[in-house]
Amino acid sequence: MSQDPKRLIHHEPSALVDALQAGRRNVPTDAQLELLAQRLLRHGIPAHELPRAPNTPGPRPTFGASPRRLSPLAKLGLASIGLGVIAVGTLLRAHGESAPSSADVPLSSAAPQFLPAAQPPATSSPALPQVESRRNEAPRNQAVRPTPTAEPDDGARPRLDSPATAEAGVSEPAAETTRSKAVAPSAALVPSVKSPVQSPRPHAASPANASSNSASAVAPGAAPELDSEALPKAIPPDTEISLLKKARNALSADPLTAYGIAERCAREFPNGTFAQERDFITISALHRLGRAHEAKSRAASFRSHYPRSAYLPQLERMLGHE
Amino acid sequence: MPFLASLLSNLRSRAGSDQKTPSEAPSLEVHAGLATQASDLSFAEIFRTQARYLWRALLGLGVRSADVDDVCQEVFLVVHRRLPEFDGRALRSWLYAICLRAASEYRRSARVRHELVVAELPEGSFAGSQLETVAAREAWQHLLGALETLDEEKRAAFVLYEIEELSLREVAEAMSCPLQTAYSRLQAARTHVRAHFDSRSGA
């Protein structure tokens, strides 16, 4: 893995890097995943096989992040410690010594704290508000939904476990099966490299692929090195958004530059979509540059132009300290 | 009674999972560090830890945002059906291979091919605080434009490696191709995407 080529996102900042970062942030919300879970429930996935909703037994259902819970060994360890403390306290008492009262504290507090740990956790996530009710309906829904076990098993099973096979080209052609109905889960979606009766995978046999294979001079096994051609040092186009991003990034460290960029943006995009943002940056830059009078004058103009702007409270806070 | 049955089932599954020692338990804490030796992965764990990334991958593979929930649903139905047969190795490759299939099916479907799409709804005015969001969406749309002009295999290699952060070996496994082929596809895709961004910069 360490021999993999350097990923583009780790190259110099550029429009492409920005786009890749945007792509990586392109994940669904908890609400979207909750809806997806509900749909799976309606399509035959048993309720207990889906992430649990809050207030249901079991670990807290958090999408993306795994729940933190005590492992069985940790629980055992804690219980052992608690028992040890109990034993020591009892021993001390038996010997007539004035046992420290603190020894009794774990006796009364540790056990109750530990036992409920096996109970449903008190904390709950705001996600999955609807799952509980759906789960209760699950058996009823199962009467009308397709049963997964009733689906024909084509025997296809992905065998992708051996990189060596992949490198040596042993991987059999994947299944190009006929299209199935759009709603039903398609067996063709399952990657298969096993069945000899299936037709060859088109790309594996295509001349284009053959040429691409032969074109690569990298030995199998050794991770191929991408030519380390640097990303093009292209200057991103100066759109309104890009100018404002630059201005905002420069605001704290170099307000003069931020001011210049914002002014340029005002010249180049006089009717821009982000006029409020631009003016706010301009006023902030003036304020940081110590040009308070100018900043207040601009702020007054801003207030008259955008009397309901969301930036007004920030401006008031910023300039109110003058 | 159905509720009781569900509860009992939950308890059974919990009891089963609690019997594992920490070393045996599947390490599903981090997406990038998925252990692949787990033979008893639960569907819930896969959904909880992977749904976000499979959803994202589908978007990168050309599934429209309006349809991604449908396709993601199909992916998880297949995952659920095939999970008992899964040998527990190369989980991410296995999951992304299913995604590749689903996205490929989707892109080839008549509905998608013949549908005239208005990619984005016309935007109204933006509040200033949405600047970053708009910029990110614009950048993503531009990258999607570049990916749309790639063929399926190169696109998959690019998305899986550059966005999903799979290793090259995992990419090759997911695409059922030799490592060199995955590398070639990735390199060709990179060249193409760079050229696409260069042309925009030069415009």
Q: Please answer yes or no on whether B162 and A193 come within 8 Å at the CB atom.
A: no
For residue A100, what are the CA distances in angstroms to A82, A88, A91, A110, A153? 16, 11, 12, 16, 68
Per mean pLDDT, which of A32-41, B116-125, B178-187 is the most reliable?
Answer: B178-187
The yes/no answer to whether this complex scores an ipTM above 0.85 is no
For residue A51, what are the CA distances in angstroms to A100, A238, A262, A271, B150? 46, 45, 48, 49, 36
Residues of B in contact with A306 (CB under 8 A): none
For residue A122, what are the CA distances in angstroms to A57, A58, A59, A69, B49? 10, 11, 10, 12, 22
Chain A residue with CA closest to B145: the answer is A19
Q: Average pLDDT per run of 10 along chain A, which is 322 residues long? A: 81 85 89 90 84 49 44 58 64 52 37 35 40 39 39 39 37 38 44 40 41 42 48 61 86 89 89 87 90 89 86 84 52
- Token reading at A321: 């300290």
Single-letter code of the amino acid located at A43: H
Percent of chain B with pLDDT over 70: 68
What single DSSP character describes residue A9?
A: G
pLDDT at B78: 94
pTM attached to this predicted model: 0.49
Separation between Cα atoms, residue A214 and residue A216, nearest integer Å: 5
Chain A residue with CA closest to B181: the answer is A213
Other C-beta atoms closer than 10 Å to the C-beta of A153 total: 11
What single DSSP character describes residue A302?
A: H
Chain A residue with CA closest to B77: the answer is A185
- Token reading at B100: 């590749």
Selecting from B47, B86, B193 the residue whose C-beta is nearest the C-beta of A16 gives B193
Q: Where are the beta strands (DSSP E) in A190-250?
A: none
A144: enclosing H helix or E strand = none
Residues of A in contact with B111 (CB under 8 A): 182
* Mean pLDDT value of segment B15-38: 38
* Mean pLDDT value of segment B162-191: 95
pLDDT at A83: 66
In this structure, are residues A298 and A265 in contact, taking their beta carbons and an 8 Å threshold?
no
Residues of B in contact with A136 (CB under 8 A): 2-3, 6
pLDDT at A179: 38
Q: Which of B28, B80, B12 is nearest to A57 (CA)?
A: B12
